[in-house]
Amino acid sequence: MASSTNVPSFSSLSLFLITFLLAKPSPTWSLSTDFYKNSCPGALSAIKQTIDSALAKERRMGASLLRLHFHDCFVNGCDGSILLDNTSTIDSEKFANANNNSARGFNVVDDIKAAVDKVCGGPVVSCADILAVAARDSVVAVLLGRRDSRTANRMAANNDIPAPTMNLSALITSFKNVGLDSKDLVALGGGHTLGFARCTSFRDRAYNDTNIDPAFVKALRGSCPRRGGDNRLQSLDQTPAKFDVNYFKDLVGLKGLLHSDQQLFSGGLTDAIVKRYSDDYGAFAADFVKSMVRMGNISPLTGGQGEVRKNCRRIN
């Protein structure tokens, strides 16, 4: 990310990732960093430009776009299904529990799509890849070559996106269901170093949890009443615009915002990983990149599967 934006740059991470990827030749239809090199060489910079201007307007947008990619990938794979609007045949995932009144950034995705289609002279870059690049431009490098779904699945979104009320074993199961392990869970959970949650997402934690710092719980109750104020925002760590290890430091200090966050440091097997990340940015950053690539590889549509949508909100 350019230093003109509010979300920090990770060029060293990108460099690391590119080196890591170039080490192996890719089999047919696998994702790659240079998927659009010939079909539309200007694609990635057009995407980045639009994201940079969105981030300059609102720095939280990076967090919101990163989360869209996560919610896309956990439901039938990274296929852009989260972007489809409701129609008579599409039961939009936008209304699934984890997304309703919460998932945001859809207009920015539309802006990116318009900009990239203009540069490419048509729909070359998939909506699923736009979400991945947006996550990348918000944080780290990713692989490309996904195609877009022709369906959405609100029921699957309700079942497959983990909930903030979950305990550690439920979180581990939820990640295991998409082929990710408990180290991926902790590394990707570090995505909560960015962005905000609504009162409705952490109210139970503020009133029912006991493994919470006393001063922190007092502050939370101040900003999130027992009843009402559902949409009041609280940052997911102390520094919501910085990609750093404060999320993990907060967990070690029993100041995780969501019940699910604190579960990662609550006497279980993941405590050691949280502790390690909390004082080793390099270890966290390297593992985050690896786990982002693993998440971005969850059953993508490739080759002749699916389509490249003309409008991210509708099937062609």
Ligand X SMILES: *[C@@H]1O[C@H](CO)[C@@H](O)[C@H](O)[C@H]1NC(C)=O
Chain contacts with ligand HEM (rule: CB under 6 A): 60, 63-64, 66-67, 70, 102, 104, 162-164, 166, 171, 185, 188-189, 191-192, 194-198, 201, 236, 258, 260
Min dist CB 306 to ligand X, Å, is 21
- Which of 21/298 has CB closer to ligand HEM? 298
Whether 84 and 313 have beta carbons less than 8 Å apart is answered as yes
Under the binding rule (CB under 6 A), the answer on residue 4 touching ligand X is no
Under the binding rule (CB under 6 A), the answer on residue 170 touching ligand X is yes
Helix (H) or strand (E) holding 234: strand 233-235
Among 122, 207, 211, 230, binds ligand X (CB under 6 A): 207
The Cα 73–Cα 77 span in angstroms is: 4
* Residues ≥6 apart with Cβ < 8 Å to 25: none
Among 204, 231, 269, 279, binds ligand X (CB under 6 A): 204
* Residues ≥6 apart with Cβ < 8 Å to 173: none
Under the binding rule (CB under 6 A), the answer on residue 88 touching ligand X is yes
Is 125 among the annotated ligand-binding positions? no
Where would I find the H helices in the chain? 11-22, 43-57, 61-73, 106-120, 127-138, 154-160, 168-176, 182-189, 199-208, 214-223, 246-252, 259-263, 271-278, 281-296
Is 261 among the annotated ligand-binding positions? no
| Residue 259: active-site member | no
Binding window for ligand X (CB under 6 A); candidates: 93-101, 128-136, 214-222, 245-253: 93-101
The Cα 185–Cα 104 span in angstroms is: 23
Query: Comparing C-alpha atoms, which of 245, 247, 224 is closest to residue 237?
Result: 247
Is 81 among the annotated ligand-binding positions? yes
From 60, 71, 113, 313, active-site residue: 71
**What residues are designated binding site?**
72, 75, 77, 79, 81, 93, 162, 192-193, 237, 239, 244
Mark the binding-site residues for heme b, compressed into ranges: 192
Under the rule (CB under 6 A), what is the footprint of ligand X? Answer: 86, 88, 91-92, 95, 100-101, 167, 169-170, 203-204, 207-208, 226
